[in-house]
Chain A
Amino acid sequence: MNAVARKIVPRPKALNCPNCGSAIELRAMGAAATVVCSYCSTTLDATNPQLVILQRWEAQITVQPLIPLGARGKLSGGIWEVIGFQQRGIDVEGTNYYWREYVLFNPYKGFRYLSEYDNHWSFVTPIPSLPIPGKNNYNRETATYDGAVYDHFQSAKACTWFVIGEFPWQVKVGEIVDTADYIAPPKMLSAETTGNEVNWSRGEYLEGKDIWAAFQLPGEAPAAIGVYSSQPAPVDTRPGRPWKLFFIYAALLIGMMIFFSARALQETVLDETYTFQPAATGERSFVTKVFQLRGDKTNLRVEVNANLDNQWAFFGMALINDETGQAYDFGRQVSNYHGVDAGESWSEDDHADAATLPGIPGGRYYLRIEPETETPAPLASMRMPAPIIYNVKLIRDVPFYFRYFLGIFLLLLPLPFLGRKGRGIEQSRWAESDYGVPPNTIVWQSSSSSGDNDE
């Protein structure tokens, strides 16, 4: 690096307004074209050291900027000083809408702007490019810049109502420019046309609290009103977003299901076949051998399978802890019926049944089983009824799928709500536009109407 003598550009001296004599502080280091006296609103030529008067103007209204001139803030990777402020307005069918713009300056990086409408803010950067005009699939205007497609929102004539401070162009109260806004929330492209010169800029939506933090303003930012054109919809309501979240959580649940299934013991602790004579009298209940249930509190699956022929059987069961005597009572019913009616054979076969007992602590257990069935009619047959042969199988710690499917079902429930909320935000946003409806709306045009505005 070659040595270069250190050169410091001094802060510009304050000058006096040639109209009212008030001190005018120059903050733009000479980069501004115009400066407007904060006291008498006279517009002066900032490129001329004598501050020649460009426009004398009796203040009709006075607007107090929310960020004072001279305040510095850190935004978008740079330090910016507020050097100018204006209020502009558009007339939409007889109603005036006003917004405010702050000129930001950094002697190295140049000019940026902040705009504020109903406490919605945008950080605006001039873009030295010409976005490409186009139409979307619904024949609505678009502008494409830097790979993103912006939907046309509103075109209007904007009038400057109030100005103070320094501006990089020749600002004038009463000046009217054509504006066109295109949105791709949280970004907005704006074109301002004066004569046949077009200036494009790109705004990035900011909340009041971001501005308050950046400029360390006292108190709290006033709450924003309504939905602003480039305000991003809450993340969860954007198109496709609810489904994306659904798939993420569903995949998580399925992953958990696979993980816990793989870890499940699935250990058969009892698998015995017993015989029960329906005609036998006396005590039917009996107890099985003692078996060990491993692990902490987890489930135990009971499967009962019986050979039945036009009969039912009920198995009253109790799982009893051999050490503490604690019992878990439950029962399983199985049945099998079949026959021929009017030449059609039919069957209802429920000869197997299963249940899962949740939360059984580990330990030594046995099962008490008491089989029951319909008592055979004593005279119906002299023969002994056929014995019921049944199998009881106990499996410790089986995978439990139902809760996962329930979880996935519950995940589906908010989707219609989020989708409707998202559509509601888009409807509110576009209600303020030239079209009244979002850009993906089919508008049926009658042959007599020009079609843009079907109010």
Chain B
Amino acid sequence: MSQPTAICPNCGAPIRFRWSSAVQTTCEYCKSILVRHDVNLEKVGQVADLPPDISPIQIGTEGVYRNSAFQVIGRIVYSYDLGSWNEWHLMFSNGSSGWLSDAQAEYAVSFLSAAEGFLPLPQNVTRGWHTKQQGVDLTITTLTEANYEGVEGELPFTYWDKERCWFADLRSADGRFATIDYTENPPLFFLGEFIDFDSLRLVNLKEFEGWTA
């Protein structure tokens, strides 16, 4: 895995990429949001103060999903009516990328997928909508209106300066999970599964005062 280094155009600090395919990162020193254009980095924004962090996961956390080792290299933070949650960007040892969401300490791993058939339009999406994706029967169970709160670290696409975001979450009979992300047009489709915290065998976690993992 190549680890190209560059210089932050804002403060001159070295920027080290953990993942060669990253198209966006943040400067650890001046908190600039940087987008990659070939070899150059462009400052597109500034990381706002993120809401108080409730997740045990952080950038640098490592774990194992279905016998594949991964490292957490970036995140997107949203807030909604029950608090905030993270979409942690995972870099797997084979170079592929995935997402680990941690809303209310309920963990799900998912991957950007090509949806089979048509996804409902944002104005038509309702709970109870059924679809079959890769042989799995899925039903929309939750519609979430969220606020984009910020980004950190390396992401596989440019993502910043959002405001209101709409998501439709889908569930199956056997713990599979999917999200339709309406922040893009056409919407993005992520498919994966809910996963038990212990089975991810996470290390480099944050510590909570008075608790042991």
Contact between A110 and B105 (Cβ–Cβ < 8 Å)? yes
Q: Report Cα–Cα, A391/B60, bound state, in Å.
A: 96
Q: Which of B53, B58, B106, B211 contacts A128 (CB 8 A)?
A: B106
Looking at the assembled complex, report how far the CB atom of A284 sits from the nearest CB atom of chain B, in whole angstroms.
89
Contact between B81 and A33 (Cβ–Cβ < 8 Å)? yes
Q: Report Cα–Cα, A106/B104, bound state, in Å.
A: 11
Contact with B along A126-157 (1 / 0, CB 8 A): 11111110000000000011100000000000
Contact between B204 and A29 (Cβ–Cβ < 8 Å)? no
Question: Which B residues lie within 8 Å of A7 (CB)?
Answer: 58, 206-207
Q: Which of B59, B127, B207 contacts A8 (CB 8 A)?
A: B207
**Among B71, B106, B212, which residue has the most Cβ atoms of chain A within 10 A?**
B106
Contact between A129 and B175 (Cβ–Cβ < 8 Å)? yes
Looking at the assembled complex, report how far the CB atom of A332 sits from the nearest CB atom of chain B, in whole angstroms.
74
Contact between A11 and B60 (Cβ–Cβ < 8 Å)? no
Contact with B along A156-186 (1 / 0, CB 8 A): 0000000000001110000000000000000
Contact between B104 and A170 (Cβ–Cβ < 8 Å)? no
Contact between A30 and B52 (Cβ–Cβ < 8 Å)? yes
Q: Report Cα–Cα, A197/B144, bound state, in Å.
A: 12
Contact with B along A90-109 (1 / 0, CB 8 A): 00000000000000001111
- B window 158-213: CB within 8 A of A: 171-175, 177, 194, 197-198, 203-213
Looking at the assembled complex, report how far the CB atom of B142 sits from the nearest CB atom of chain A, in whole angstroms.
7
A234 at the interface (CB under 8 A from B): no
Contact between B141 and A197 (Cβ–Cβ < 8 Å)? yes
Contact between B208 and A9 (Cβ–Cβ < 8 Å)? yes
Q: How many chain B residues have a CB neighbour from A under 8 Å?
A: 44
Q: How many chain A residues have a CB neighbour from B under 8 Å?
A: 41
- The answer to whether A128 and B104 touch (CB under 8 A), given A4-B58, A4-B60, A169-B82, is no
- The answer to whether A109 and B198 touch (CB under 8 A), given A1-B203, A31-B104, is yes
A196 at the interface (CB under 8 A from B): yes
B54 at the interface (CB under 8 A from A): yes
- The answer to whether A1 and B62 touch (CB under 8 A), given A107-B105, A110-B105, is yes
Question: Which B residues lie within 8 Å of A4 (CB)?
Answer: 58-61, 204
Looking at the assembled complex, report how far the CB atom of A190 sits from the nearest CB atom of chain B, in whole angstroms.
16
Question: Which A residues lie within 8 Å of B197 (CB)?
Answer: 108-110
B83 at the interface (CB under 8 A from A): yes
Contact between B211 and A170 (Cβ–Cβ < 8 Å)? no
Q: Report Cα–Cα, A400/B136, bound state, in Å.
A: 64
Q: Report Cα–Cα, A126/B139, bound state, in Å.
A: 18
Q: Which of A2, A107, A146 contacts B71 (CB 8 A)?
A: A2
A213 at the interface (CB under 8 A from B): no
Q: Report Cα–Cα, A32/B54, bound state, in Å.
A: 10
Contact with A along B92-108 (1 / 0, CB 8 A): 00000000000011101
Contact between A129 and B205 (Cβ–Cβ < 8 Å)? no
Question: Which B residues lie within 8 Å of A30 (CB)?
Answer: 52-54, 83
Question: Which B residues lie within 8 Å of A2 (CB)?
Answer: 60, 62, 71, 204
- A window 301-324: CB within 8 A of B: none
- A window 5-30: CB within 8 A of B: 6-11, 29-30
Contact between B208 and A129 (Cβ–Cβ < 8 Å)? no
Contact between A128 and B128 (Cβ–Cβ < 8 Å)? no
B56 at the interface (CB under 8 A from A): yes
Looking at the assembled complex, report how far the CB atom of B206 sits from the nearest CB atom of chain A, in whole angstroms.
5
| Chain A contact residues, CB within 8 Å of chain B | 1-2, 4, 6-11, 29-33, 46-47, 49, 77, 79, 106-111, 126-132, 144-146, 168-170, 196-198
7 shortest interchain CB distances as A-B pairs: A110-B105, A4-B60, A128-B194, A4-B204, A30-B54, A33-B82, A107-B208
For the complex with contacts A77-B198, A110-B104, 14 further pairs of A-B residues with Cβ separation under 8 Å are: A4-B58, A7-B207, A9-B208, A33-B81, A47-B79, A106-B211, A107-B56, A108-B197, A109-B197, A128-B171, A129-B194, A130-B139, A131-B173, A197-B141
